[in-house]
Amino acid sequence: MSKSGQGVPRSIERRTWLAAALSGVAASSLLRTRFDAVDLLAQQSEPADPTKVMGRLVSELGSRAPGEQPRRQAGPAAPSSSSRTPLGDLHGIITPADLHFERHHAGVPAIDPESYELLIHGMVERPLVFTLPDLKRFPSVSRIHFLECSGNGGGAFNPARMPTDITPQAMDGLLSTSEWTGVPLATLLREVGVRPQASWIVAEGGDAAMLNRSIPLEKAMDDALIAYGQNGEGLRPEQGYPARVFLPGWEGNTSVKWVRRIEVTDQPVMSREETSNYTDPLKGGSARQFSFVMDAKSVITFPTFPYALPERGWWEVQGLAWSGRGTITGVDISIDGGRTWAPARLQQPVLPLAAVRFTFPWNWDGREAMLLSRCSDETGYVQPSAQEYIAARGEQTRYHSNFIRAWKVTPDGTVTYGLGDLL
């Protein structure tokens, strides 16, 4: 929409309250904010009074309103790349499937569902292959869970130059939430009969990276799924069609997409994605391996860059909180950079290992403010400050970045990432 250029200059001109100094990249996303939607639509065609003309007819496939055109933010056009969910443009907790973040190591494979097979072998009584229709004949479950890449938020701290003009999408958009439908992996493992000596499984994708990850058998027998459905439809190709591993609460890379082979073993394979990649160097010279669980984290999605507040008065601070350790129990908001805190409201549903939407009514007095959110979960874990996080891990761990983010609102209404001011 913004790329077509339709109505763009006029729209920006009329929105006097929008921060004028934003870069060209940011400007294109301005037209997708919740505040612009109605306005932009109104300018485009001066439509006739809809109560006096017949509307559009029924159709086989729906489409978004012209004024609602959220987009993923795509990284470099390369086989190993990612795209990020527009966190600031969505409501509730469910990510529309076409806006779910992507992280591929060798592009999105085209897999024929008719010839698709999942092989399970290794330390089992009966090695078997399952077709997609086979998988769908087993008792199914549907569960709402977040999925987060462990590299999410890696740009939230940069000792050389702290970012300011960064959106929550660019910073933390490798986080999405869906209703996943599939067969519990435990059901399939019972079908093949796991031998008592087994302690790991190794899952492998059918993409051009044949990406492989070792997963403790305990997790596989607990809440792991072989998922074939997402938000009511079949998986999107980008999310692993025809079927993927889904490990609730664990770093995204372990939920192997396009899964075609699972080997039951008694040891990890030590693949590149669990040694060279997705391990966490810690201060003091060690590197954490198999750091599966995503710690509790919250992010404010509004008000954030590139949005601006046009006037003082009531605004709703909003965001998402999630924890791979369990259920979110609370989110606190600070508007004064962490000096005082007040509880946010958690929207229902509040589900284990799922993102929760939090809201906080805020009567902005027009003065400078620094907005923070801090969540806690049922295990008692509290989202750390950047200082606590750096004290524990050092400055160079880029995975599992879950410290408290900060958003600075200045009297003219502009909002920028403000963590640099707090360090």
Partner 1 sequence: MRPRPQVAFGSLLVLVTFAACGAADRPGEASAAVAAPALPERFGLGTPVDEARIAAWDVDIRPDGTGLPPGSGSVEDGAAVYLLRCAACHGPTGTEGPNNRLVGTEAWEDFPATRTVGNYWPFATTLYDYIVRAMPQDSPGTLSADETYAVIAWILHRNELIGADAVMDASTLPAVEMPARDRFVVDDRLESNVVR
- CB environment 250-275: b (16+ within 10 A), e (fewer): bbbbbbbbbbbbbbbbeebeebebbe
Q: In angstroms, rounded to a whole number, what is the distance separating the alpha carbons of residues 68 and 38?
A: 9
In the block, tokens 């860059």 appear at: 305
- Complex with partner 1: residue 102 or 295, whichever CB lies closer: 295
Q: Which is nearer to ligand HEC, 105 or 393 (CB)?
A: 105
How many angstroms separate the CA atoms of 211 and 269, rounded? 12
* Dist CA 202 CA 342 (whole Å): 45
Give the range of 218-226, 328-336, 350-358, 379-387 binding partner 1 by CB under 8 A: 379-387
What is the closest distance, in whole angstroms, from the C-beta atom of residue 78 to ligand HEC in the complex? 7
Q: Which residues contact 302 (CB under 8 A, 6 or more apart)?
A: 34, 88, 316, 317, 318, 319
Nearer to ligand HEC, 278 or 407 (CB): 278
- 213 near partner 1 (CB under 8 A): no
Q: Looking at 105, 145, 219, 244, which residue binds partner 1 (CB under 8 A)?
A: 105
- Return the structure tokens found at 346: 């958690």
Between residues 267 and 277, which has the closer beta carbon with respect to ligand HEC? 277
Residue 119 interaction partner, one of partner 1, ligand HEC, none, beta carbon < 5-8 Å per kind: partner 1
Structure tokens at 326: 């369990």
Residues 74, 287, 342, 423: which binds partner 1 (CB under 8 A)?
287
Residue selected from 330, 382, 410, 422 as contacting partner 1 according to rule CB under 8 A: 382
Residue 66 interacts, among ligand HEC, partner 1, none and using kind-specific CB cut-offs from 5 to 8 Å, with: none
The residue among 216 and 420 lying less far from partner 1, judged by its C-beta, is: 216
Nearest to 199 by CA among 141, 148, 269: 269
Q: How is residue 381 annotated by DSSP?
A: -
Which residues in 249-288 contact ligand HEC (CB under 6 A)?
A: 272, 276-277
Residues with Cβ within 8 Å of residue 39, at least 6 apart in sequence: 11, 14, 15
Q: Is 261 in the site for partner 1 (CB under 8 A)?
A: yes
* Interatomic CA distance for residues 390 and 370, integer angstroms: 21
Residue 80 in the binding site for ligand HEC (CB under 6 A): yes
User: Does 138 contact partner 1 by CB under 8 A?
Assistant: yes
158 touches partner 1 by CB under 8 A = no
User: Which H or E run includes 175?
Assistant: strand 175-184
Encoding tokens for residue 311?
A: 């006037």
Residue 105 as a binder of ligand HEC (CB under 6 A): the answer is yes
Q: Does 270 bind partner 1 (CB under 8 A)?
A: yes
Give the residue, chosen from 130, 241, 246, 360, that forms a contact with partner 1 under the rule CB under 8 A: 130
Nearest CB to partner 1, comparing residues 31 and 211: 211
Alpha-carbon dihedral 6, 8, 10, 11, rounded to 10 degrees:
120
Question: 277 or 396, CB closer to ligand HEC?
Answer: 277
Q: Is 213 in the site for ligand HEC (CB under 6 A)?
A: no
CA atoms within 13 A on the CB side of 185: 33
**DSSP for residue 58:** P
Task: Count residues binding ligand HEC (CB under 6 A).
Answer: 5
Determine if 26 is a binding residue for partner 1 (CB under 8 A): no
Contacts of 345 (CB under 8 A, 6+ apart): 358, 359, 360
| DSSP 8-state assignment for residue 378 | T
Q: Is 381 in the site for partner 1 (CB under 8 A)?
A: yes
Chain centroid offset of residue 280 CA: 20
Nearer to ligand HEC, 277 or 289 (CB): 277
Residues that bind partner 1 (CB under 8 A): 79-80, 105-106, 119-121, 126-131, 133-134, 137-139, 187, 190-193, 202, 204, 208-212, 260-261, 263, 267, 269-272, 275-276, 279, 281-293, 295, 325, 379-382, 384, 388-389, 392-394, 396, 403
